[in-house]
């Protein structure tokens, strides 16, 4: 007799034996969450709480599929780069946060909603991926977005991204190494290139990273006898006519003013034409050498969405109703599938029904409503009048611009700058971080940062932990074509 689930690792019964789809269907409702980022993890947390009794009785099973074993809280990455927060404290280990859910460290490769199944590859570093078939009854689509790259000459060789913890730590070490290099070299051209930092894209990632690193570098140069803050050149390049497109125009204009006051060279309506040979060429005709080029030019919806049979809008996001159900061909809810976060085109009632901007505020608020609506649909069906529509509260936006500097808007429309904005910004993110353990750790980092002077040492060698050991063997002989393998 063929093994259940076509011989692939799949769903198991409550006592651990693999089971046929139909048997499981009778006893357990399987909720599959694709993506364990802000929206996916928050949905799982709310469902875990709201369906606790049904989960314990085995009536419902929640599986979160995420390639990393943790959630990365992106809004605090800039503070990781500045050294204000320990890198481990901005990630939330999923298995600890979701003890009543199954967490699968895998990447979903395809979703066939008509057949109610997803295909995934289990991720084991350095090994061939293990294919998995994941049947489900209810699907939550939350794979977020990815960086939008462009075919700019030299970008792939010399640019770096800023969306992971590794990139944040790597950029911090790189910036500090450039100060060391500038201090040590006698070549004026090399010195200038080392002290020029270019960020392309003025969204959250670009503005936050530049502002925090500029602040850190300004502090760090106090320790150098021959590098002054005025020697550092920070350039922010943005293709559109404003920065922070995800935020209100008022907050964006205010942030722009603050950056320019600090001497940041912000170039609007300008694009990067080339970075070949570490020489930055911009569309306004300027050319200069820069050893640091950070690419943060926007995001596009996760490419996974193209490998699904779900309806997408022109930008490639899943089309959703205000209830966060995916829209079917008849304009009504497609049964059993929901979406939230950056990947979802959810109408924003404050923007005449245009899709919500891709930001963490929407991702968390949508996740909370989605979990509530899934619980209602489980009780009363997918067209229940009890399903609520997504109505985000007034935007509570803020941007950190370094230690004790930020700009923020209050929910009542007030505008804050400086320390008060900075405290408000920190309080908001502390409240949003989806783990009490992480909240305490981040708070402790901030308290320690206030008590002691800033830590500005580069630990770039951590990125090559074997180099010292390998150096002990001396230079490696060149391998000829006939050398034994």
Site for ligand FAD (CB under 6 A): which residue of 36, 301, 402, 434? Answer: 36
d(CA 198, CA 202): 11
Pick the closer one to ligand FAD by CB: 35 or 154: 35
Six-digit token pair at 340?
């939230």
How far are the Cα atoms of 78, 141, 450 from residue 443, in angstroms, in the given order? 16, 32, 11
d(CA 350, CA 327): 20
Q: Cβ–Cβ contacts within 10 Å for residue 137, how many?
A: 18
Site for ligand FAD (CB under 6 A): which residue of 35, 301, 336, 402? Answer: 35
Measure CA 177 to chain center.
26
Q: Is 143 near ligand FAD (CB under 6 A)?
A: yes
Site for ligand FAD (CB under 6 A): which residue of 24, 85, 142, 293? Answer: 142
Site for ligand FAD (CB under 6 A): which residue of 24, 47, 51, 77? Answer: 77
Candidates 133-141, 142-150, 383-391, 452-460 — which segment interacts with ligand FAD by CB under 6 A? Answer: 142-150
Instruction: Give the nearest distance from C-beta 361 to ligand FAD in angstroms.
Output: 5
Six-digit token pair at 149?
């790259």
Site for ligand FAD in 107-126 (CB under 6 A): 107-108
Site for ligand FAD in 380-439 (CB under 6 A): none
* Bridge partners, residue 408, by sequence: 398, 416
Site string for ligand FAD, 342-361 (x = CB under 6 A): xx--------------xxxx
Instruction: Give the nearest distance from C-beta 162 to ligand FAD in angstroms.
Output: 5
Q: Is 378 near ligand FAD (CB under 6 A)?
A: no
- Sign for the pseudo-dihedral over CA of 177, 180, 184, 190: positive
Q: Is 200 near ligand FAD (CB under 6 A)?
A: no
Residues in Cβ contact with 275 at an 8 Å cutoff, skipping those fewer than 6 apart: 152, 153, 154, 155, 157, 158, 159, 281, 293
Q: Is 218 near ligand FAD (CB under 6 A)?
A: no
Candidates 10-18, 73-81, 90-98, 444-452 — which segment interacts with ligand FAD by CB under 6 A? Answer: 73-81
Closest residue to ligand FAD in the complex (CB): 37
Site for ligand FAD (CB under 6 A): which residue of 204, 295, 390, 422? Answer: 204
Q: Is 374 near ligand FAD (CB under 6 A)?
A: no
- What is the C-alpha end-to-end distance of the chain, expressed in Å? 45
CA neighbor of 321 nearest in space, from 346, 341, 342: 346
Pick the closer one to ligand FAD by CB: 41 or 270: 41
In the block, tokens 């950029």 appear at: 171
Instruction: Give the nearest distance from C-beta 207 to ligand FAD in angstroms.
Output: 9
Pick the closer one to ligand FAD by CB: 194 or 337: 337
Q: Is 65 near ligand FAD (CB under 6 A)?
A: yes
In the block, tokens 């990125």 appear at: 463
Site for ligand FAD in 276-305 (CB under 6 A): 302, 304
3-state secondary structure 9-52: CCCECCCCCECCHHHHHHHCEEEEEECCCHHHHHHHHHHHHHCH
d(CA 195, CA 183): 10
Q: State the burial class of residue 180 (Cβ atoms within 10 Å of its Cβ: 0-12, 13-18, 19+).
A: middle
Six-digit token pair at 129?
């991926």
Q: Cβ–Cβ contacts within 10 Å for residue 110, how many?
A: 15
Residue 76 DSSP class? G
Instruction: Give the nearest distance from C-beta 22 to ligand FAD in angstroms.
Output: 26
d(CA 342, CA 163): 14
Instruction: Give the nearest distance from C-beta 211 to ligand FAD in angstroms.
Output: 11
Instruction: Give the nearest distance from C-beta 362 to ligand FAD in angstroms.
Output: 7
Q: Cβ–Cβ contacts within 10 Å for residue 234, how many?
A: 22
Q: Is 67 near ligand FAD (CB under 6 A)?
A: yes
Instruction: Give the nearest distance from C-beta 14 to ligand FAD in angstroms.
Output: 25
Six-digit token pair at 126?
């350095």
d(CA 16, CA 371): 27
Instruction: Give the nearest distance from C-beta 107 to ligand FAD in angstroms.
Output: 4
Pick the closer one to ligand FAD by CB: 4 or 203: 203
Angle of the 204-220 helix axis to the 249-261 helix axis, nearest 10: 20
Site for ligand FAD in 233-272 (CB under 6 A): none
Residue 100 DSSP class? T
Site for ligand FAD (CB under 6 A): which residue of 37, 154, 382, 402? Answer: 37
Tell me, by CB under 6 A, how many residues bind ligand FAD. Answer: 34
Pick the closer one to ligand FAD by CB: 33 or 221: 33
Instruction: Give the nearest distance from C-beta 35 to ligand FAD in angstroms.
Output: 3
Residues forming contacts to ligand FAD in the complex (CB under 6 A) are: 34-40, 65-68, 74-75, 77, 107-108, 142-144, 162-163, 204-205, 208, 302, 304, 341-343, 358-361, 363
């Amino acid at each position: 007799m063929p093994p259940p689930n076509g011989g692939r690792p799949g769903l198991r019964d409550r006592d651990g034996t693999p089971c046929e789809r139909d048997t499981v269907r009778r006893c357990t409702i399987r909720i599959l969450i694709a993506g364990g980022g802000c929206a996916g993890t928050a949905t799982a947390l709310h469902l875990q709480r709201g369906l606790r009794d049904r989960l314990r009785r085995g009536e419902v099973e929640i599986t979160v599929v995420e390639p990393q074993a943790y959630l990365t809280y992106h809004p605090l990455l800039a503070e990781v780069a500045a050294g204000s927060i320990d890198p481990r404290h901005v990630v939330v280990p999923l298995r600890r946060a979701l003890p009543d859910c199954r967490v699968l460290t895998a990447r979903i490769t395809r979703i066939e909603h008509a057949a109610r199944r997803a295909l995934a590859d289990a991720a084991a570093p350095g090994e061939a991926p293990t294919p998995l078939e994941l049947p489900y009854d209810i699907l939550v689509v939350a794979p977020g977005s990815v960086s939008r790259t462009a075919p700019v000459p030299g970008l792939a060789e010399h640019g770096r991204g800023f969306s992971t913890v590794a990139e944040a730590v790597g950029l911090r070490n790189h910036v500090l190494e450039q100060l060391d290099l500038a201090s040590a070299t006698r070549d004026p051209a090399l010195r200038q290139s080392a002290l020029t930092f270019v960020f392309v894209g003025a969204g959250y990632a670009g503005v936050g990273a530049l502002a925090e690193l500029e602040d850190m570098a300004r502090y760090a140069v106090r320790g150098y006898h021959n590098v002054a803050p005025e020697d550092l050149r920070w350039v922010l390049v943005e293709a559109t006519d404003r920065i922070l497109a995800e935020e209100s125009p008022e907050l964006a204009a205010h942030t722009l003013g603050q950056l320019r006051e600090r001497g940041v060279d912000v170039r609007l309506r300008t694009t990067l034409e080339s970075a070949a040979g570490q020489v930055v060429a911009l569309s306004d005709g300027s050319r200069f050498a820069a050893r640091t080029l950070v690419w943060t030019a926007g995001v596009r919806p996760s490419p996974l969405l193209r490998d699904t049979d779900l309806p997408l809008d022109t930008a490639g996001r899943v089309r959703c109703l205000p209830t966060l159900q995916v829209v079917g061909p008849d304009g009504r809810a497609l049964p059993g599938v929901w979406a939230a976060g950056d990947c979802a085109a959810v109408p924003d009632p404050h923007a005449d029904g245009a899709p919500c901007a891709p930001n963490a505020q929407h991702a968390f608020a949508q996740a909370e409503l989605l979990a509530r609506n899934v619980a209602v649909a489980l009780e009363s069906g997918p067209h229940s009048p009890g399903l609520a529509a997504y109505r985000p509260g007034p935007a509570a936006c803020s941007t950190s611009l370094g230690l004790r500097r930020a700009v923020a808007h209050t929910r009542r429309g007030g505008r804050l700058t400086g320390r008060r904005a900075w405290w408000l910004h920190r309080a908001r993110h502390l409240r949003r971080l989806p783990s009490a353990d992480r909240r305490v750790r981040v708070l402790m980092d901030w308290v320690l940062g206030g008590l002691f002077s800033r830590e500005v040492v580069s630990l770039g060698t951590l990125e090559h932990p074997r180099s010292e050991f390998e150096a002990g063997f001396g230079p490696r002989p060149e391998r000829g074509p006939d050398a034994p393998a």
